[in-house]
Structure 1
Amino acid sequence: MSGVRLEVQWSPVHPDKFITWGTEIFLYEVASLKDATKLACSKVSDTTAANLLATNSNHHYVKCVDIYPQPEPDILLAIGQANGKVVLTTFGPTAFDALGLTGKELVPRHARQCNTVAWNPVDSNLIAAGLDKYKADHSVLLWDVLKCPHHGDGRTGMPSVSYQHHAASQALELARPVAELGLSETAHSLAWFNTQSRSLIIGMNNKHLKLVDLRDSNKAVNSTPTKAVYGLVVDPHNDHQLASFVENQISVWDTRNFEKPVLTLIHSKPVIKVLWCPTRHNLLGSLLRDSTSLHLHDIQYTVVGNDEVEPFVQEQSVHPGTANNITSFSWHPTHENRLLTIALSGTITDYVVFERITINCSPNTEIVWTHGRWILKLINDKVAVFNSLDDILVIFKRRALNDYGLKPELWQNGDLAEEESLKNLWHWLYLSRSLVEDGSMRGVDSKLPGIRCVLKIDSNETDGSEMISKPWVDLGKSINTVRIYRSENREKAMQLCGWKFDKESSLTSFLDRLESEGLYTRAAAIAVFNMKLRKAIDILNRAALSQNKQQLPSNLNIVAMALSGFSDDRSSMWRELCLASRSRLSEPYLRATFAFLTAEADNYENVLNESGVAVEDRVAFACTFLSDVKLNEYLKQLTAKLTEEGDLAGILLTGTSSDGVQLLQRYLDVTRDVQSVSLLAVRVFPRELLLDSRVQNWIDSYRVLLDAWRLWNQRAHFDILLNACSPNDKAPQQIFVSCNFCGKSISAQMQGIIRNRGAYARLGATSQKLKMSSCPQCRKPLPRCAICLVHMGTPSGLQNNNSMNSNGRSSTANNKMAEFSSWFTFCQSCRHGGHAAHMTHWFREHSECPVTFCTCRCSSLDTAREAASIITHIARVQQ
């Protein structure tokens, strides 16, 4: 079939059948792979196969084909040939034989090529054919296939003998079309409108489009000059919109404004076919010559006021998966975004276009996206895959449900953090607060001080450190010593770092705890930093025998052997070999250990800059071995570095200060963890820092997040913690009953009058129940009860019915809430209401509002029966 163009077309009424044609016409049926058992089937996708049902090879020089558009069990084809004939044919015996349609030939008066043929989608007995130019003939012929009498009987489908002579005598009359258009013109393409059965659009003479109403075929309804006269297609969703092409240009037209195309699409290659998608609005598919892909144009109209803005187009290229050039494609009539393609090699592909999807994430961490035109897919916490999503909102919500940040003890919140840095921070905050509360931080003006605050670095009030020469006790008669520095503030700083080793037993217990946690290299390094070389060797030897060998370096026993050969001689071979091999060690604590043992002239840069060593250990080491000047310089540099990185370990240095706010803001910028920074601020920051605009922004954002998740309980506890930071600040009243006329709070005015009446009662005035029928501010009457028609005025809340007891003091035993039956009750829809007891009684027997002419069914707006039972229960309890 080289040199012959292959075409493919879905049946418009059979969702599982399609045809292909070139020199022959083939009929296929699509089935799932498991059902495709015939030998003539071929795989067209990963899930479907095409079974060859029939072949029609009786017609040659086929130029165009169209399928009968009405739902019939069989397929009827209209074939346009090179000689201008339009032949109706089927695949074997069908129901169309009885109608005399099979084999019918519609022949023009003069032979010329048939360029296009199309069934009318509404009046399916009409068929239009577009022909080449002939100077004395028309190029568009309209045929009514049912006006011809039967060519045979209804039983056999064969011509009857008695009818043959009569049919031959009327052959010339039967062959005449019902309408003719385009005298001495060429019809390159044509298309019917989907809802206007007598309207036709024709591309003629390579120079204009004609819109014709066949009720008056002598006059074109509308026309426009253009060279884009090929491949005319009408949008199945919009009769006003059509498309055509010429060379590498596609034109989209609107028949209501036919002077010029509303959109022009330019391609790099000539266009050979365009088709509107029948299942998607405004989606146009196009195929270019010598291309292995299809181009999709999603045309979006925008209307501003009464003016139409130029359409916006989203373009997409899809590759059905064939390596050969595609020669044709066809959209499925009903399955969304499904199409068939046929390649030059004859390969057929059944393909579904996966569109760009819109993904939205709700505040409740629900993810929803579009799946086609009619389906939305959702993932929420009820789906198993949801828990595997590494989404920060999922983590936030899980923490909030576990009361993260709300636990009474700070260290308990660290255990819920699910992150090592957060866990260490909460535990350090608990340690710092404990040291302040037990008096270990006397003289420090902060409830949660940092290292810089304790050492008074920012105030430049250092107390001067004492230098001490400490020998290596494990080296026997060693003459070399290590210089360390001691002061009261340094001791406090080391306590904040967890290095509180005032006794030998405290160091031993600390190292034992590290070993129990599997932190052998850290324990060995801290032992060396405290001049306990033999203890470090024992720790490494026990680590080599540990059961968790897969989590530890395999050469710990060799490292222990290397430590045992330590010599304080600066020119020894041991020191030379350690300097050469230190960088090959994988454990940062081991590298820091040998960096300390091989340091010269108190230069501990390799220890202090070892990033794998915990910040608290590096700071404690600096507080031990650095002079005051070097210590201050190092801590300032380390603070700046940790703040820039947003490392929470920097809170050890800043404490709860303005520098700590800056560090947390940087942490928020890096991680977006507004939950942790808000809870940390509320739990540990002093009141003056809570007033910082950045902190207020954190708190407001987290409150909004809790509200969006509807975690009202967690939000209430969060507000309680926030209010506890400012006990003198009372939250303003948020809900009150207001007057319809002046808008003032009626309840607030009542409370003031109640207090005055209470004062009068304490002076001996006669106490009486307070009743009001008007607004205390503007004196306008209050609404009436819809049942009893009495002005509502019994105040809700505490009634101060004071009386004098025998001692002359007011008795508070009679203070009680106002009777619930007298409370204000309103429908939130119609705004009618009355006393609670009256409304409850009314809605036990009625569903509509008691106000005349009001048809509001107040009781059906919510669970009224349950509400009524609750109201009745409350009333009984008060009685």
Structure 2
Amino acid sequence: MSRPKWDVLWCPFHSDRFITWDSDAVLSLYEIGPRDNSIRDNDHIYLQISEHSIAELVSSITINNYAKCIDIYPQPEPDIVASGHANGKIVLNPKYMRTCNVVAWNPVDIHLIMSGLDKNSKEHSVLLWDVQHYPKGSERPIGEAGISETIHSAAWFKHDSRCLAFGANNKQLKVVDFRDSAKVVNVTSTKAVYNLSANPHNNYQLLSHVDNLITVWDTRYFEKPIVTIAPQRQVTKVLWCPTRRNLIGTLHKDSAGLHLFDIQYCGTEDTEPGVLERVVLPPWHSPISFSWHLTDENRLLAISLQGVTDYTVCERITLNWSARSCLMWNYAFKSFKYINSEDSIYKELSDISVLTKRRAILEYGLLTDLAQNGDIAENESLKNLWQWLYLSRSLVEDGTIQSPDNKHPGVRTILKLESQQNLSNGFLKSEVIHRSWADIGSNYTTKIYRSPDREKSLFLCGLRFDKETNTAYDNAYLEKLEREGAYAKAAAFAVFNLCLRQAIDILNRGASKKQATILNMVAMALSGFSEERTTLWRESCQKSRSQLSDPYLRATFGFLTSDNDSYESVLNENGMTVEDRIAFALIFLSDNKLHEYLKRLTQKLIEEGNLAGFLLTGASMESIQLLNKYLEITSDVQSCTLIAVRAFTPKLLQENQVQVWITNYRHLLNAWKLWFQRARFDIAMKSTIPQERPPQQIHVSCNFCGKSISAFMQGLSRTRVPFRLGTTPNKLKMTACPNCRKPLPRCAICLMHMGTVSGLQTAPSPGGSRSEECDIKVTEFNSWFTWCLTCKHGGHSEHISQWFRQHTECPVTSCNCRCSSLDYTRNATVT
């Protein structure tokens, strides 16, 4: 059983009226109004078309002979509808015994209406009628076209009121001009002859379809369509949107939504337009037809078996996000909305680009004190890393750790654990010490390991090994932890020192100050410690240890209940910091176990991108892998770059991956126009390679011959150049080009010839041989060339700076260029 044919159409001159009609010849006129809660839902006079509006039935008529098509008279009064019928009848017009497939009022000459009929031998199928000057008793139209053709659809051109396009015979689109005896002026062959309509925004474009093919035509190039769209399903209706340029709405067979095609023109006729497709799923099911509102933007009516729905299509928003975190989008085709990085919304976003820019402005990573850079980072892991870099450099510089080539060695470097071969050759050979639990009067002992390299590694962990007491966690360090409120951590370290009574006292003090019952309970549990491996106490602690929330308390009982020097429960306690676990391993693990543990932990930290792994890797090839993984997770290229510049050796800085970071960060600073920060970064980067002289970046050439006039390029040995010497070598000047001897331009302020030599000049060292050379600073910045890139006028740098402190226009009399206002960097600095 086929569905009844329903359709809906907006009234062209009443923005709140529409009509519906069906194949049962019932034509209904509705008027839209706000919804009134007092109206009963079962009242058949009203249709609820949206959440806040209803449609009231104004009038309804029954049309005989089964209407095939309708069109609304394009005038506000009276409300006239023309209908074409299966027997050829048009309201107000004579009867033709052929099916009328299309009727269309002329949008300009509103008294004209056309009808398109089925094929009949030797008779016209396109008929033009004049409803105002219709001769009484006459049955003849005022215009005819299309002999022996079947008309499927038709459309008037709005700007050519007597030109009509129609699709005929399932094979042609034709354009006929009724001003010239209905002459066919254009024709093309195609099967896409259905739902023909003219673009309301472009008088040369037509839209049509057939099956699952949609075509857009340009009547100036009618040989082939300018746009072809091939949906996956059969198309049942296509319509231009009257309020939105180049937007097409389509319905597809058995589709639950409305398909929108936005045609994007590239600006040149040789390039095929692009098409963006959207699917709108409004609150209707299986729509049968729809109609765009003629004036309300993106508003439409859709009709389905469930009724009529009034719906507004949300506009597709084009967002543009600049490199400086400025967000802009179009708003209703009338204005632009704009948000810059200073807006409050950015404070609510944890966006890495915003954070990176804020850090760059605060000179993050460039401060002399490495630890201070961590305070700017606003990230705990970065703060810890910068503090460790400060610690490691201090230990190397004061001679505690011998590392002449690397200011930031890692634990594995100090222990010489890069390979198993080093271990087997005895590079790591530790002294074993049996230390007893003295403060509880027990003879039970625990093995600890000592060596000079282990002690140096403990320094990197922030600890110091006491040779007299054989402990790394001295009382001063434990007291510091207590002052910070880290009682569980202090108690754990006391236990690692084999001072059980001290640990119990720390927990009791913490319980009284923090009013933590759990600390009292743990203290009571510790008081029952026994060195026997099979006691009930040990078994109970092993079972209940996992229920403790504090990782250091879990590590405490893991240490006390371990068997055969196996401390896996402590070493794998992820809640403990990496440096605390490494320090524990340096004290309690044998050489082989220490090597294997540090190897596994290094690999794990690198895979996680955990910056705490720097303690193990130091500045090495492994640290590049670690930073690269951190970059993949966080996109923080700034930290990776600055850590590399401040910590890596010159050899590591030349690695390809590091150079990629440096290049990208420089481009980022340039994109944000942070020129001063970029310059400071370049200085910091070059300072890591002091023996490498930076290349000359400024060259001044003669305006006449084009050759360089820089003394750095020419050399000072050319006596034929007319030099003017001052009292010192630094005052060396020249007033003419060294090549063509043309005079150099004058300063716009002092009117003296330009010609101060710029750069560094290599000259023989005083009192030495000619083979011995030294660098002489030839130029002060105040005497450099400077000029406006717009008007090309300039002078000495000092003079130009003084001028623009009080003026905005160029100092040259005949020039109106406002050079100062063109300098973005200066304006940004002033504001």
Letter in 2 for 1:362: S
Letter in 1 for 2:280: V
Q: Report the equivalent of 1:152.
A: none
| SS of residue matched to 2:167 | strand
Q: Report the equivalent of 1:95.
A: none
Question: How many pairs are equivalent?
Answer: 789
Q: Report the equivalent of 1:8.
A: 8
Identity of aligned residues (%): 51
Compared CA separation, residues 235 and 864, structure 1 to 2 (3 A): closer
Structure 1 contact 444–454 (Cα < 8 Å) conserved = no
Compared CA separation, residues 632 and 865, structure 1 to 2 (3 A): closer
Q: Distance in 2 between matches of 1:444 and 1:818?
A: 37
1:328-353 Cα offsets, whole Å, 9 max, x none, are: 11223344433321222223231214
Q: Report the equivalent of 1:592.
A: 555
Q: Report the equivalent of 1:125.
A: 111
Q: Report the equivalent of 1:141.
A: 127
Structure 2 contact 722–734 (Cα < 8 Å) conserved = no
Structure 1 residue 574, shift from structure 2 partner: 1.8
| SS of residue matched to 1:25 | strand
Structure 2 contact 748–811 (Cα < 8 Å) conserved = no
1:518-561 Cα offsets, whole Å, 9 max, x none, are: 43433332222121223333444455556586xxxx74443333
Structure 2 contact 87–95 (Cα < 8 Å) conserved = no
Structure 1 contact 832–849 (Cα < 8 Å) conserved = yes
Structure 1 residue 651, shift from structure 2 partner: 0.8
Q: Which deviates the most, 772-781 or 382-391?
A: 772-781
Q: Which deviates the most, 190-199 or 540-549?
A: 540-549
Alignment of 1:341 onto 2:302: yes
Among 387, 391, 415, the residue aligned to 1:431: 391
Q: Report the equivalent of 1:166.
A: none
Q: Which deviates the most, 360-369 or 243-252?
A: 243-252
| SS of residue matched to 2:357 | helix
Among 123, 130, 136, the residue aligned to 1:171: 136
Structure 2 contact 495–503 (Cα < 8 Å) conserved = yes
1:441-487 Cα offsets, whole Å, 9 max, x none, are: 257764222212322333656363211111112432x2321000112
Structure 1 contact 41–49 (Cα < 8 Å) conserved = no
Q: Which deviates the most, 747-756 or 276-285?
A: 747-756
Q: Report the equivalent of 1:66.
A: 71
Alignment of 1:859 onto 2:802: no
Alignment of 1:418 onto 2:378: yes
Structure 1 residue 362, shift from structure 2 partner: 1.9
Q: Distance in 2 between matches of 1:308 and 1:864?
A: 37
Q: Report the equivalent of 1:854.
A: none
Q: Report the equivalent of 1:215.
A: 179
Structure 1 contact 33–43 (Cα < 8 Å) conserved = no
| SS of residue matched to 1:416 | helix
1:817-864 Cα offsets, whole Å, 9 max, x none, are: 8998xx9776644546789999989x999999877xxxxx53356549
Q: Report the equivalent of 1:473.
A: 438
Superposed counterparts of 1:603-618, under 5 Å: 603-618=566-581
Structure 1 contact 17–30 (Cα < 8 Å) conserved = no
Letter in 2 for 1:666: K
Structure 1 contact 827–858 (Cα < 8 Å) conserved = no
Q: Report the equivalent of 1:494.
A: 458
Letter in 1 for 2:640: V
Q: Report the equivalent of 1:620.
A: 583
Q: Report the equivalent of 2:775.
A: none
Q: Report the equivalent of 1:397.
A: 357
Q: Distance in 1 between matches of 2:729 and 2:431?
A: 78
Structure 1 contact 338–353 (Cα < 8 Å) conserved = no
Letter in 2 for 1:67: I
Structure 1 contact 189–203 (Cα < 8 Å) conserved = yes
| SS of residue matched to 2:306 | coil
1:336-384 Cα offsets, whole Å, 9 max, x none, are: 43332122222323121443x5444322122334556555443322322
Superposed counterparts of 1:18-417, under 5 Å: 18-22=18-22, 23-29=26-32, 44-45=49-50, 49-50=53-54, 52=56, 54-57=58-61, 61-69=66-74, 77-81=81-85, 84-87=88-91, 105=92, 107-135=93-121, 137-147=123-133, 171-173=136-138, 176-217=140-181, 219-256=183-220, 258=222, 265=229, 270-300=234-264, 313-322=275-284, 324-355=285-316, 357-370=317-330, 373=333, 375-417=335-377
Q: Report the equivalent of 1:527.
A: 494
Structure 2 contact 473–497 (Cα < 8 Å) conserved = no
Q: Distance in 2 between matches of 1:444 and 1:729?
A: 20
| SS of residue matched to 2:607 | helix
RMSD of aligned C-alpha atoms? 4.5
Q: Report the equivalent of 1:157.
A: none
Compared CA separation, residues 761 and 111, structure 1 to 2 (3 A): closer
Structure 1 contact 330–340 (Cα < 8 Å) conserved = yes
Compared CA separation, residues 42 and 439, structure 1 to 2 (3 A): farther
Structure 1 contact 139–182 (Cα < 8 Å) conserved = yes
Q: Distance in 1 between matches of 2:741 and 2:338?
A: 56
1:580-632 Cα offsets, whole Å, 9 max, x none, are: 33344444333322222222211222322222321111111111011222222
Q: Distance in 2 between matches of 1:339 and 1:631?
A: 74
Structure 1 residue 81, shift from structure 2 partner: 4.7
Structure 1 contact 110–137 (Cα < 8 Å) conserved = no
Q: Distance in 1 between matches of 2:644 and 2:496?
A: 35
Q: Distance in 1 between matches of 2:240 and 2:484?
A: 68
Q: Which deviates the most, 625-634 or 746-755?
A: 746-755
Compared CA separation, residues 771 and 603, structure 1 to 2 (3 A): closer
Structure 2 contact 208–238 (Cα < 8 Å) conserved = yes
Letter in 2 for 1:220: V
Letter in 2 for 1:858: N
Q: Distance in 2 between matches of 1:751 and 1:269?
A: 75
Q: Report the equivalent of 1:776.
A: 738
Compared CA separation, residues 492 and 42, structure 1 to 2 (3 A): farther
Compared CA separation, residues 834 and 377, structure 1 to 2 (3 A): closer
Q: Report the equivalent of 2:661.
A: 698
Q: Distance in 1 between matches of 2:433 and 2:737?
A: 82
Compared CA separation, residues 687 and 826, structure 1 to 2 (3 A): closer
Compared CA separation, residues 480 and 685, structure 1 to 2 (3 A): same
Structure 1 contact 5–344 (Cα < 8 Å) conserved = no
Q: Distance in 1 between matches of 2:822 and 2:493?
A: 70
Q: Distance in 2 between matches of 1:866 and 1:532?
A: 66
Compared CA separation, residues 500 and 73, structure 1 to 2 (3 A): farther
Q: Report the equivalent of 2:521.
A: 558
1:291-311 Cα offsets, whole Å, 9 max, x none, are: 43112233456799x8555x6
Compared CA separation, residues 693 and 244, structure 1 to 2 (3 A): closer
Q: Distance in 1 between matches of 2:452 and 2:565?
A: 22
Structure 2 contact 455–465 (Cα < 8 Å) conserved = no
| SS of residue matched to 1:408 | coil
Q: Distance in 2 between matches of 1:556 and 1:359?
A: 56
Q: Which runs of 5+ in 2 are unaligned?
A: 762-777, 826-831
Q: Distance in 2 between matches of 1:866 and 1:259?
A: 53
| SS of residue matched to 2:707 | coil
Structure 2 contact 113–130 (Cα < 8 Å) conserved = yes
Letter in 2 for 1:508: N
Structure 1 residue 214, shift from structure 2 partner: 2.1
Q: Distance in 2 between matches of 1:372 and 1:757?
A: 71
Q: Report the equivalent of 2:770.
A: none
Compared CA separation, residues 624 and 4, structure 1 to 2 (3 A): same
Letter in 1 for 2:167: G
TM-score, normalised to structure 2, is: 0.82
Structure 1 contact 110–134 (Cα < 8 Å) conserved = no
Q: Distance in 1 between matches of 2:639 and 2:792?
A: 44
| SS of residue matched to 2:498 | coil
Structure 1 contact 187–205 (Cα < 8 Å) conserved = yes
Structure 1 residue 426, shift from structure 2 partner: 1.3
Among 498, 501, 504, the residue aligned to 1:537: 504
TM-score, normalised to structure 1, is: 0.78
Q: Distance in 2 between matches of 1:797 and 1:443?
A: 40
